[in-house]
Structure 1
Amino acid sequence: MVSRAELSSLETAIRELSDRITTAADELLGTTEEAVALDLYEVERNLRTAQRRISKAASGLPSKE
């Protein structure tokens, strides 16, 4: 069974990936590849949504004590 700790780990991984994608997109702004940056920002928004949903799902699990 999935645990809060496992979901927390996934949330952290998504947050780190999202940060890396944002950094990459920021570097592309103002270049000829700006369209790629816009696509990456869309990916980042979707990852942030996934992160929030995982957090919400984790809060629905019983905590181990």
Structure 2
Amino acid sequence: FFKNISSKGDKVVLRNMGSVSDHVISSHSTSPTIVDWDKNGIPDLLTGAEDGYLYYLKNPKK
């Protein structure tokens, strides 16, 4: 994922923070959304992929 490390006017600087998961989604068309899936107050990542599956990535923060 990319983290916004600075922005000024219309210029944004992003840092590549690496993969969000060790699991590779076998698809090039995905539709990610942020949702508190487990209702713990911390946003998780839910991604729909063209292979017909939904992929749930639990936020590791507690």
State whether TM-score is above 0.5. no
Higher RCO structure, 1 or 2 (CA under 8 Å, sep 6+): 1
Bigger radius of gyration, 1 or 2?
1
Q: State TM-score, norm by structure 1.
A: 0.20
Higher helix content, 1 or 2: 1
Q: State TM-score, norm by structure 2.
A: 0.20
